[in-house]
Amino acid sequence: MTLALFVVFAVLAVAGAVGVILCKSPIHSAMSLVGTMVALGVIYLLHHAEFIFVVQLMVYAGAVMMLVVFVIMLLDLRAEGEAEGRLTGPKAFGLLLGGLLGALLLVPLAARLTGLTGDMTTDALVRVGSVEFLAGKLFGEYLLPFEIVSLLLLAGLVGAVTIAKKRL
């Protein structure tokens, strides 16, 4: 069952991704991307990453993509011109290299995982629940990254403002 669901949503995700790169209109691309994200969210769920699923939907598919769509509308972007569809030399080369990269990224599959290393066992999750578990980690062990992210967001904020504002 899980596997079947995985396959279905995987196909959806890939379809969305293909849509992103094939759609002529940016808004269609954005929509495809949202589709991919949602499909991926479901796959997260299938991996028992409920919290991530939520964040994925809310922050990613929701907020971030909203922003993207907003900007597309703001700039009134339409479908791309003639040049887009044509297959040029560099593009062909890019496709070829992309294919190669894809193939190479499959090489790790040959590896076997060396074993369980973590403490996020089903057992533990059952005991404290996945969100609580992650929260504990986030504010315990992972406090430093958490703090850094706040800095990062501050930098992003200030950066976005300085760049986008007409005059400072």
**Residues between 38 and 77 that touch another protein (CB under 8 A):** 40, 43-44, 46-49, 51-52, 55-56, 59-60, 63-64, 67-68, 71-72, 74-75, 77
Burial class (CB in 10 A: 0-12, 13-18, 19+), 122: exposed
Q: Which is nearer to another protein, 59 or 127 (CB)?
A: 59
Footprint (CB under 8 A) of another protein, residues 86-145: 90-91, 93-95, 97-102, 104-111, 113-122, 133-134, 137-138, 140-145
Q: Which is nearer to another protein, 60 or 127 (CB)?
A: 60
- Using CB under 8 A, count the residues that bind another protein: 100
Angle at 60 between CA 57 and CA 3, to 5 degrees: 50
Q: Which is nearer to another protein, 127 or 143 (CB)?
A: 143
C-alpha closest to that of 52 among 141, 131, 152, 148: 131
8 binds another protein (CB under 8 A): no
Among 8, 127, 129, 157, binds another protein (CB under 8 A): 157
Backbone dihedral angles phi then psi of residue 15, each to the nearest 5 degrees? -60, -45
CA 9 to chain centre: 14
What number of residues does the chain have? 168
